[in-house]
Chain A
């Protein structure tokens, strides 16, 4: 069993790119006014004509990147997202450059599968008739598309020399990033970690879920009405894009340097269902919730707010509701934040964590969007259906992924 040093870990900075905006003010504006970031699925010239689900959680505003060419040249779209949020989080934290390059700061960052846009371009070169007698795959295409492209482009941009963890577990990618970053600091391997995830616009995930009949198709003409977590009329998930980064620091280090502390990470759990790779599993999910509470050394009734994974699928929401009820009863306010922006895949965990930080700071809970008629099989929970003034002291962020991976991250407001 574990022994020895266990240190406290705090979140001192964050930044996000989401379908409902970039800044805290923009994101809260969408939450308060019930504005969705789900739009029509963009044409991709490959798969989109065959996909039944015509909706997508869309980042459709311009982002100004101020990266030098030396950094840009190894970046595909997903790394642009990742480096931008990492840059903003590091800049707002104000860490000095000596620390950043000291080896005491590491990176935990991932994406679902690197850059599918770049991968597609490689295949197009060969299958699209544009191959010439000269080698026509760019020297950097692998660096742009590989699965750990987000993490190592961040290390390159800032000269970070500490640990690199690059999770790639679909929907639990960035919650694992935060969890494993937290553990790296807690057990003394690193003093700070920049953690998160990103996923670029890509139709591959849409096509996969569409094939499995898991995507929403009934609201193609009114994208803002889907997904509908816990609602009786929900008909599946909506894939989206986005990125988020949080900076974790060892508490004493953060306190001594006068960092502003957003919250403390007090617990993390990750387990596997140990069997089926697709179906949600009540036992596995319930267990990850319980492990999270045990790791955080708190009782279930101390949690005020649960950010549910809640993708809006028929069975997933029912199983998650049952698991939440089995552990918490109907005490904590439950919200499915994907109702506002769809499922941003590798970035959903960190984006939901950042939104939980914002709500914690502001003292209210935003409702689940499109939750007009609660499915009776989900109705035993304390669903938040309208804006609720409510201080959040402890929040749990739950994520579950294909492959049977489950995570539960627990954060606490600092006094």
Chain B
């Protein structure tokens, strides 16, 4: 998956599931769009499906500091690098 592909999927997910339209890539999602801990858990489930692989407890804990769309994409890229190539 390229960064653009990840970004497209994440923005589409935010639009469909969270009704957050075109957020700024560096917006603080919690402060600006009401993205909360429940949404974060739903997002992790989506990321597991994108990667085709379960996240470890440690990996999930790392996600709790994420605040922006760019950080979500960084996070997914780093997870993908640590895994064998997958069709996702």
Contacts and interface: CB of A to CB of B under 8 A. Distances in A.
B59 interface: no
Interface residues of B, number: 12
A132 to B, nearest CB: 9
B45 A135 contact: yes
B42 A138 contact: yes
B38 A74 contact: yes
Contacts of B48: 134-135
A97 interface: no
B51 to A, nearest CB: 10
A143 B48 CA distance: 22
Interface of B: 18-19, 34, 36, 38-39, 41-42, 45, 48-49, 54
Given A70-B34, A134-B49, A134-B54, A139 B18 contact: no
Nearest to B40: A139
Nearest to B36: A70
A140 B41 CA distance: 9
A297 interface: no
A143 B36 CA distance: 14
Contacts of A139: 38, 41-42, 45
B80 to A, nearest CB: 16
25 contacts: A69-B18, A69-B19, A70-B34, A70-B36, A73-B38, A73-B39, A74-B38, A133-B54, A134-B45, A134-B48, A134-B49, A134-B54, A135-B45, A135-B48, A135-B54, A136-B45, A138-B42, A138-B45, A139-B38, A139-B41, A139-B42, A139-B45, A140-B38, A140-B42, A143-B38
A8 to B, nearest CB: 40
Q: Is the interface of B mostly helix, strand, loop or mixed?
A: helix
Tier of interface size on chain A: 10 to 19
Nearest to A135: B45
Contacts of A135: 45, 48, 54
Contacts of B54: 133-135
A230 B41 CA distance: 53
B84 to A, nearest CB: 16
Contacts of B45: 134-136, 138-139
A201 B51 CA distance: 38
Contacts of B36: 70
Contacts of A70: 34, 36
Contacts of B49: 134
Nearest to B43: A139
B26 to A, nearest CB: 22
B64 to A, nearest CB: 13
A133 B39 CA distance: 21
A138 B19 CA distance: 17
Interface string A115-135: 000000000000000000111
A133 B48 CA distance: 10
Contacts of A73: 38-39
Contacts of A140: 38, 42
Nearest to A143: B38
Contacts of A74: 38
Nearest to A137: B45
Nearest to A136: B45
A135 B45 CA distance: 7
Nearest to B18: A69
A133 B45 CA distance: 11
Contacts of A143: 38
Interface string A133-156: 111101110010000000000000
A408 B33 CA distance: 47
